[in-house]
Amino acid sequence: MTSAWSDVFLGVIALATLVMALVQVGAIVAALRLSRQAQQMMTSMQQEIRPLVARVNAIAEDASRTMALVAAQAQQVDRVITDLSRRTDETAAVIQQAIVTPAREGAAIVAAVKATLGALRGLGQGAPRQGRHAEEEDPLFIG
């Protein structure tokens, strides 16, 4: 009887091993199917993402070109402002030489003419009056 029970237990073990093998094969088949689906999904996503990546790259290149143009324009504006400032300084110097310097010289000539006329008037009236000077000192005299 032991041999009969041994055969039964051996059959149960064989059946359990067969079931485990079938479960493992099923799990492997399911994993392969899942792997294929994941790979197909990845391929599909890559195909959908490629145009987006290309657009992002194009936008980045456009932005880079735009920034280069902006930098060049900023340099040109800086040069124009520097040139304008230099020309303004030169113009101010020219105006000063053309107007202010002759005006000062003219003012000096007018002052000289006034001084000459004042001196001539003083000569025409004679010597300066001493009486006025004496009148100013009289109130101060205590004696």
Confidence tier at 106 by pLDDT (50, 70, 90): confident
Cα–Cα dist 127/107, whole Å: 29
pLDDT mean over 39-67:
93
Confidence tier at 62 by pLDDT (50, 70, 90): very high
Type of residue numbered 65: R
| Residue pLDDT, tens place only, 6-40 | 999 999 999 999 999 999 999 999 999 999 999 99
Does the structure show a pLDDT above 90 at 86?
Answer: yes
The CA–CA distances, whole Å, from 81 to 74, 85, 92 equal 10, 6, 16
Does the structure show a pLDDT above 90 at 127?
Answer: no
Question: Does 49 fall in a domain?
Answer: yes
Domain extent at residue 60: 2-125
Question: Does 31 fall in a domain?
Answer: yes
Quote the number of domains for the chain. 1
Question: Does 114 fall in a domain?
Answer: yes
The tokens describing 135, both together, are: 């009148």
pLDDT mean over 133-141:
57
Question: Does 132 fall in a domain?
Answer: no
Type of residue numbered 24: Q
Question: Does 15 fall in a domain?
Answer: yes
| More confident of the two residues 1 and 78 | 78
Does the structure show a pLDDT above 70 at 110?
Answer: yes
Residue 6 CB-half CA count within 13 A = 3
Predicted confidence at residue 19, as pLDDT, reads 96
Question: Does 135 fall in a domain?
Answer: no
Mean pLDDT of the chain: 86
Question: Does 95 fall in a domain?
Answer: yes
Question: Does 143 fall in a domain?
Answer: no
